[in-house]
A and B are shown apart, each in its own frame.
Chain A
Amino acid sequence: MGKRSYKLREKLSNTFELPKDIVLDVSKIIIIGTGQITVENHKGIIEYSEELIRINTGSGIVALHGKNLAIKTIFQEEITITGEITNMEF
C-alpha cells in the first residue's frame, strides 16, 4: 500500500469517524491493569522470552518488558499476553 492510499484512508476515517484500526490496518492494544495485554491486528511475534516479548504490528514493533510473561492465546488477528508487565515500548 502506497503512502497516498494510506493518507486517503486516514482522511476517510477522520471524516466519517470510522474506527482507525479497521480502516488503517493498525494495531489496537488493550491493557487490562498491569497483568494482561491484548494486541489486535498483529503481524506475528519477533522475540519471546519471559522478560521480553516483541510483537510486529502494522504500526511498528511493540516491545513488552516484564516478568513471567506468557502467551495466553494467539490467533491470526489477536494475541493475549499475561504476566507482570512493567514497560511497553513502540
Chain B
Amino acid sequence: MFIIRIWNYLRGYAIIIVKGLKIERFINLAVVNNIYIWDIEKLDYTTVKAKIGLENFGRLRDIVRKTDSSVSILNKRGFPFILRNIRRRKLFYSGLFLMCVFIYIMSSFVWMIEIVGTKDVDNESILRCLYNEGLKEGSWKGRLDRRHIENQVLIKMPELSWIGIQIKGTKAVVEVVEKSEGPPLISRTDACDIVAAKDGVITKLLVLSGDPLVKDGDSVRKGQKLVTGTILRENLEPRQIHSLAQVSARTWYEDAEEIPLQQIEFKPTGRVARQYKLKLLDKEFSRKKSVNFKDFNEYVEERHLISFGDYVFPIKLIEYRFEELVPELKTIMVDEAKERCAERLNARIKLRIPEDAVILKRDINYYTDKKSVKAKISVEVLEDIGVKQKIY
C-alpha cells in the first residue's frame, strides 16, 4: 500500500469534492470506467471527499453528467505540482541548491585546528610547524597526507614524542604527547660515577658498588663526586665499573618574599564595554568603539557562528569585553600580610622540592617594618641526591 501511495504522490493527485444525490452510482461508474479514486469520505448526506489521479480527472466529466453531480477541486498534491512550483520560483530554488553545494564544498576543508595534550610546549609553535607542513585553517581535507605531516612534525619538533592528526568534520584534532625529560639513562653495562645533584649534608651513604669518596656527615657541594666507578687497587690494573649507591642527604631550600602594607587594589566598577569583531577566513570586520576606561580587565571570547557538531565554518565572532577597574589604596594588617607571605612562599617552595623528599623542618621568619613585611622561608628536607654520571 505504501508503494501505491508513493506512486500516487509521484503522479500527482487532486482532492475533489463531489456533490450530488447519486454518490454511490458515481463511485460505481468511476470504478467501471477504470478511474481509480481512493480515500473516499462522506462529508455529509450529499457530499463526498475523494482523491483522484491527475490523468483521470478529465474523464470524470461523463460520469458527472450521467449522475447529475458537481465536482470541485479542493487541493492539488504531489510531485508534479511541486515541480511546477519549483519552476515558478527558479531563482529561489537554484539559490537553495547552490547553498547546499556551497556548504558541501566548505565542509571539505579544515576550518579549525584543535591541539590536545600539550603541557610545556606552546600550541603556537605546533601550529606554526603544522602550517609549514600544509595543515592550516583552510587546507583541503582531500589532499592532506596525515601520515606525512605527522612524521615531518615529529622530525622538526624533537620535544614531541608522538603526534596524531584526526579529521573530525571540519576540525582537525591534533593530539600530541610531549617527551618527559628525565635524566639520561645509563645502561648497566656502562661505567659511571655518582655525583651530588645538590648541596647538602650526607646522612646515610649506602654503596652497592663502587668506592665511596665521602662519608656520613660530610657536607657536599653540587657536582661533587660521591662514589667513584674507577677502582684502583694495588697490584691490579685500574678498572671501571657501574657504581650504585643510595645517597640520603639533608638539603635546604630558601626563599624570600616581601609584601608592602600599602596596597593598590583594583576593583571592578561594574561598567562594561564590548567590542565585536567578525572574522571571515582571514578577514576581519570590526566596528571600533573607543574604550575610555583608564584601568580595565580585558576578556576575549571567540565563537564560531556556524557550527554543526564537528562541522565548523570559518565565521567567527570575537567579543572583547572590557571591565572597568578603579584603583583603591588599601592598608592591610601586619597579620594579613604575614599570612599572604607564608601562602606565597609555601606555594613556591613546594614546586622546587621533589615529591619523594621528606620534610624535616620548615621555618618562616618575618621582619616587619613600617612599610612592608618581609618573610624568609627555609625548609630542611631529606632526599636522595645521588645522580649517575657516565665515565668517558
Contact = CB atoms under 8 A, between A and B. Distances in A.
Given A44-B31, A45-B27, A71-B27, A50 B39 contact: no
Contacts of B28: 44-45
Interface in B10-51: 23-24, 27-28, 30-32, 34, 36-42, 45, 48
Nearest to B48: A48
B52 to A, nearest CB: 11
A72 B24 CA distance: 15
Contacts of A75: 31, 36
Chain B: number of interface residues, binned into ranges: 10 to 19
Contact of A73 (B24, B38, B48): B38
Contact of A74 (B23, B37, B41): B37
Nearest to B23: A48
B42 A48 contact: yes
Which applies to chain B's interface (DSSP): helix, strand, loop or mixed?
mixed
Interface in A3-58: 44-50
Contact of A49 (B32, B36, B45): B45
A75 B357 CA distance: 94
Contact of B42 (A44, A46, A49, A72): A49
Nearest to B43: A50
Given A45-B24, A45-B28, A70 B37 contact: no
Contacts, number: 45
A27 to B, nearest CB: 15
A74 B36 CA distance: 7
A76 interface: yes
A74 B39 contact: no
Nearest to A81: B40
Interface string B40-67: 1110010010000000000000000000
A70 B40 contact: yes
A68 to B, nearest CB: 8
Contacts of B31: 44, 74-76
A48 B34 contact: no
Given A75-B31, A76-B31, A76-B34, A46 B24 contact: yes
A74 B37 CA distance: 7
A44 B29 CA distance: 9
Interface of A: 44-50, 69-76
16 contacts: A44-B24, A44-B31, A45-B27, A45-B28, A46-B24, A48-B40, A48-B48, A69-B42, A70-B39, A70-B42, A71-B27, A71-B38, A72-B38, A74-B27, A74-B31, A74-B40
Interface of B: 23-24, 27-28, 30-32, 34, 36-42, 45, 48
Given A71-B40, A71-B41, 8 more contacts: A45-B24, A45-B28, A46-B24, A48-B27, A69-B42, A75-B36, A76-B31, A76-B32
Across the A-B interface, the 4 shortest Cβ-Cβ residue pairs: A71-B40, A44-B28, A70-B41, A73-B38
